[in-house]
Chains A and B, each alone.
Chain A
Amino acid sequence: MRERKSVKFNLQKQEHQNGHLSPFKVAKLFDPDASWDKDQLGDVLHWIRQSLALVCGLLWGAIPLVGGIWFILFLLLSSGIIYAYYALVLKIDEEDFGGHGALLQEGLFASISLFLLTWILVYSLGHF
């Protein structure tokens, strides 16, 4: 399994080098047999994190959820979803992509800022 994903990883690199990029398909996002380029996977994880930050910020601010514990909960929730996505849905071998740390930190800081910004704005504008 690991060899198969590594071979696919190298073939994808050759495709890029030859300039024949296949169009990115939405189906690839849920395909455990798809091959991923490191940059492509990193970008997907980044945008998933930003979407989660936006949704959680809007939700937390609208209800509203108040207290630092909800910030911690957001961190755990978003990291858990990202981990579940690449480990269980995509079945990625994290060693091909720099390990769990590299994958989990994709877009983390920007998502924390975006979450805080959205949470603060919705809370301030919606409840005062």
Chain B
Amino acid sequence: MASALFSNLKYSDSLTLVGISVSTAIVCEAISWLLIYRTASYKSLKSTIDKASKKLETMKTTGSNNPPSNILKSKTKKIDRVETSLKESSRDLSLFKFKSGAVVAVVLFMVFGLLNSLFEGMAVAKIPFVPIRLVQKMSHRGLHGNDMTDCSMTFLYLLCSISIRTNLQKFLGFSPPRGAAGAGLFPMPDPKSN
């Protein structure tokens, strides 16, 4: 009965895509854990970044409003030293994860290739609005016709990747530390584990 219901849905392929995305996210995080997160180097760098960023916050928020100039100069120098140390640790963390992330990148590349072969030229879902022109390049990629509300595999897979992987990393505690450089306005799934 379930399979009959499933096959009656016009866009049932979207569920297949979501299922593959979820499985891929779990596999990628498992690989990342094996190669990155459980290593002593990663734990040590993460701890250093956390401590440095908390220390920096404390130094920036405490202190009197009008300190004497020599104390202000000394405090500024200390803040600069901690910031430099934080940047160096963040860079080391990025480099460390980049080297180990190549394996995950290969897995993602293979999965994307598989999905492309399965769903090329097919609209896997319907978008409930007309996306802006920039987004249309991805949402209508490889599709025929002029209906811009047709959703390509690429766009849906991108949405799946970002939402599922970011939340999975967050849930498992694998998100990059908040103090790390590059955790900007829109934190993506940790790119170095891609």
Q: Which residues of A are interface residues toward B (Cβ below 8 A)?
A: 6, 10, 13, 38-39, 42-43, 46, 50, 60-61, 64-68, 70-71, 95-96, 101, 105, 107-110, 113-114, 116-117, 119-121, 123-125, 127-128
Contacts and interface: CB of A to CB of B under 8 A. Distances in A.
B125 A120 contact: yes
Contacts of B2: none
Nearest to B127: A120
B146 interface: no
B162 A124 contact: no
Interface of B: 9-12, 14-15, 18, 54, 57-58, 61, 125-131, 151, 156, 158-160, 162-163, 166-167, 170, 178, 185-188
Nearest to B188: A109
A107 B163 CA distance: 10
15 contacts: A10-B58, A42-B178, A46-B170, A61-B128, A66-B129, A96-B61, A105-B185, A105-B186, A117-B163, A120-B127, A123-B127, A124-B11, A124-B14, A125-B12, A128-B9
B186 A109 contact: yes
B68 to A, nearest CB: 23
Contacts of A127: 126
A13 B188 contact: no
A119 B14 CA distance: 12
Contacts of A101: 185
Given A38-B57, A121-B14, A66 B186 contact: no
A60 B160 CA distance: 18
Nearest to B54: A13
Contacts of B125: 120-121, 123-124
A38 B178 contact: yes
Contacts of B186: 105, 108-109
A12 B163 CA distance: 31
A4 to B, nearest CB: 14
Contacts of A50: 167
B74 to A, nearest CB: 22
